[in-house]
Every structure is written in structure tokens, then in C-alpha cells.
Structure 1
Amino acid sequence: MSAAFDADALARLFVEARAHRAKLGALPAGARPADADDAYAAQDATLRALSADVGGWKVGAKTHDGPIQGAPLPVDGMHKTGARLSMHTFGKAGLELEVAFRLGRRFEAGSGPYSDEEVIAAIESVHAAIEVVASRFSAWPDVDKPSQLADLQNHGALIVGEGVPYDAAFPFVSPAMTFTFDGAPLFNGASANPAGDPRRLLAWTVNHSVSRGRAVERSTVLTAGSYTGMAFPDAPGTAVGTIEGLPAVELHFA
């Protein structure tokens, strides 16, 4: 973490913005994250300030072999399929359809590092998930990358469908799927995750967490990037995501 950066100061701004459904403008000089290390320190400080348990992680990469970034998700932002959420809670919000993984074991803080094979072996179930992407910044998405990462990587909420047991034969690179809002399609074309096979992101997430002193609890959900891009509904309605081989996931936006 850079010497001039005050992670707790930025965390206080995020917590206040969440509490008052407010948006942040330009950050004070000492609260501006300069890089990923600053951003991760701010994430940790935000979870402490919220006194929030972690229910999941969002993780992604821009390319098949590019660097990975992630953020812990407070448990109160995790919802079961069929959730009813107010659009006004988030302000401008995007929706993404993703594949999520639920872990069947605990990884202790300070342990590891773990291999891809060890973490994949811990997957208990696979789920369709809708992520609500939202920001605490008024200028979003025109916000610098470290600030977005610090803001729990633009996390609004995660709606998780029912799961099926992990099957290595599932077509994780490009599963067949549909994503609709009140019956109208939210994306066209073939589904694709920019990270490629999202399972490559999972060991990084577990190792990142335990190396920072945070255990990964059994039943933690890891959601691993959008297959559909981001859609911005402009009125209330119902989003339904169907991924072949997985139970559908549904979100009611009021």
C-alpha cells in the first residue's frame, strides 16, 4: 500500500455512501487508491467498517491469460433466486449473467498456496447467477480502475440460482444461455467469458483471500465473470437467466 494512501478514509466514504444511497465525486487526495494494492487495502477496510461477513467473491480477468482481480462480497448482498430488489437502491445499475461456484470446504487464513487442482476439487456445486453491478461513484463507469476495484469491484448484489453438483464436463468456456428482461433479450450472439474457462480464476481467489488473513468459509460462492456483457434496464421488471445444464436464476427489479 502506498504511504500516502489512507484506506480507512476511503472505506468511511464508501460506507457513508452505502448508508445514504449517495454517490461520491472526486476523492480527497489521501483517499485516492493509486494501484491494486491500495484498492485491496480499501476493500479490507470497507469490510471491517461494515462489520460484514463475506458471503462470496467476484473475480474476473479481461483476457484468457491476463491478470486476475477480485473482491469480497458482503453476505447481506447475496440473495437467492427470485429476490425482489429496488432499482433505486443502486442508482445506475447493470445486470450480468454469470456462472458461480459454491465451495464444499474451508480454506484457513494463512494457509496455502493452493493449486488449481486443489481448489477445483473443493467445488461442491455450480450455479447460474445474476450480478447487479453498481458503483458508489457518480461518474461511473468513467472512474479510474483502482477506485472501481476498491469499491468492491462495482458490486451491487449477487442473485444465486439453485445449484447442481460439479461436473468437469460442463462447457464452462461457452455454455448455451439466454438472458431476458421482461421477456426481451439482454444480449445477442454467443456467450463468452473474457477470462476463458472461469475455473482458472478460483485458486487465485482462494490464495488471495487466505494470504490476506481471511479464511474462505465452506459454502462461499465465487462468481467468475460475465458471459453476456452488461445490460442496463431503465424500468422495473424481471430478469431471467438460463444456462443450459443449470437451474434458471431470476431477479425482480422493483
Structure 2
Amino acid sequence: MTDATRFFDAADVARRFATATDRIAAAELPLPETIAEATAVQAAFVAPQDATAAGYKVAHSPEGVGVAGRLSPIAIAASDAPPAVFRWREGLRVEAEIGVRLASSLPPRQNGYSRDAVIAAIGAVHLGVEVLDSRIAEGGKAPFLLFLADRLGNAGYALGPELPRDLLHGAEGRPLDVSLGGATLFSGEAHHPAADVLAWLVGWANETQRAEDTLAAGEIVTTGSLCGAIDVASPGRLDVRLDARWNLPVRFE
């Protein structure tokens, strides 16, 4: 089949992800050939309730290109409300992260954005928990563009308590604890893979080929794990505590 006759059905791939009861082998799925095709799958594969709370996780491709995966579903945690609930199944993992909500838009532009310009667009900084549960059997070991179509494995996000803005500069090395039903899953220092929680957000902001409506005012962006991906071996209440001051509980059922 030549490029001229090739047809990639993003809506069909999204439907297969949304309706699968078990993880799907990568070999059984058509492969997107471009970031645009992968993000078209993402756009068709989000929960209806997220229409008023759009959000993304930022990362980079193996070639170093800034990319993002849609967050869905998104739960806005309130201090006086029960913990947000997500579905549990074997193989589920979580990441403790810094999330931000944009106060102003960062549309694609040729001259790009400095780190300070991205910070100026941020309205609030939060503690967050990303839920990882890929619809692909191989997960992150699948071909990258297929994993990107799968929202980089995202299966939900909880936006927790607001944090001081100085954590955009000083999250590294802060005490971080993650527990499930009181049992410790992680206890150590917070560390972002790029040693800067804003590195991947700035990288994606400066990708001129991203959609015009991305990084819009009001959107939530989670910036990358501070503890790696942690296995959640059973249902229960998970607590993330940063700097012994801020706590975000979620429940898996």
C-alpha cells in the first residue's frame, strides 16, 4: 500500500481502546505513522465528563520531540470531599507529580517560549496523582506512536491541594511518601527525570506543530513523575504526601 492510498482510522483505534475488556497486543492494532495521527486517536478517546476539565501529561519522544497525552478522566480533589475513585486492575501503576493549571494560553508560535514565559502563564500549582493503565499489552514497550495514541498509558488523574509556586523551582529533593492502605510503596526524595518539573512542559510549549487549541487557559498539565511509576498491587486507599505537608488521597476499587 502506498502513502497515497493509506488510510488510518483514528476513531476506530480509539473505539477499540475504549471498549477493550483486556489489554490488546500491539500487533493487533494499526500503527499511527505520525504524531498527528496518534494525537487524533487521543482526541477521540477521552471521557465525556472531561469536556469542562481538559488536561495533558507532557513527555518527549525517543527523538526528543515534545509530546503530550490527554488526561482522562480528571478528578478535582477537594479537601472536604471523599477521595477520588478510580478503577483498579492488575498491572495498574501510579505516579506522584506536580500539576499546573494555566491562567493564560500558550498557543504555538515560531519564536517559542522561555521558561519564565511558561511560568507567567501558570495560575496555580498542585500536587497530583496520575493513574497509569495502558490499553496495550506491551504498555510503554509498544511502538512509541501507538503508545502515544494510547495517551501514554494514562487512565486518570487526580488534581490535589494547591502548592506554593516555588515548587516549580524547588521540588527536587523534597521528602515524598506514597502508601497503600498504610503500607509504604515509596519513601524518598522527589526527583523528576529531567531534574526540572517544567522541562517537558516548556519543551511541548515550543513544539510549533502541536494543535492551536492546546495549552489553553484553564487546562491542567501534569509535568512528569517525581517517584517513577509505582505498582499498585491491590485495591485500597492510596496516599501521596509531599514534604510532610501536603497530602492527596485517592481510592482504587
Structure 2 equivalent of residue 123 of structure 1:
122
Question: Kindly tell me: are residues 245 and 108 of structure 1, through their superposed partners in 2, closer, same or farther at Cα, counting changes over 3 Å?
Answer: farther
Identical aligned residues as a percent:
25
Q: Is the 8 A contact 2:70 2:154 kept in 1?
A: no
TM-score by length of 1: 0.79
**Pair 1:153 & 2:152 matched:** yes
**Unaligned segments of structure 2, at least 5 residues:** none
The within-5 A match list for 1:68-147 is 68-74=66-72, 76-80=73-77, 82-88=83-89, 92-107=91-106, 113-147=112-146
Q: Matched residues in 1 for 2:204 and 2:111: separation? A: 12
**CA RMSD, Structure 1 to Structure 2 (Å):** 3.3
Structure 1 equivalent of residue 200 of structure 2:
201
Structure 1 stretch displaced more, 160-169 or 231-240: 160-169
Question: Kindly tell me: are residues 52 and 124 of structure 1, through their superposed partners in 2, closer, same or farther at Cα, counting changes over 3 Å?
Answer: closer
**Unaligned segments of structure 1, at least 5 residues:** none
Q: Is the 8 A contact 1:129 1:160 kept in 2?
A: yes
Q: Matched residues in 2 for 1:67 and 1:138: separation? A: 25
Residue aligned with 2:151, SS: coil
**Pair 1:25 & 2:22 matched:** no
Q: CA deviation at 1:42?
A: 2.7
Structure 1 stretch displaced more, 36-45 or 142-151: 36-45
Q: CA deviation at 1:125?
A: 1.7
Q: CA deviation at 1:139?
A: 3.7
Q: Is the 8 A contact 1:191 1:228 kept in 2?
A: yes
Q: Matched residues in 2 for 1:168 and 1:193: separation? A: 12
Question: Kindly tell me: are residues 97 and 232 of structure 1, through their superposed partners in 2, closer, same or farther at Cα, counting changes over 3 Å?
Answer: same
Structure 1 stretch displaced more, 97-106 or 167-176: 167-176
Q: CA deviation at 1:183?
A: 1.8
TM-score by length of 2: 0.80
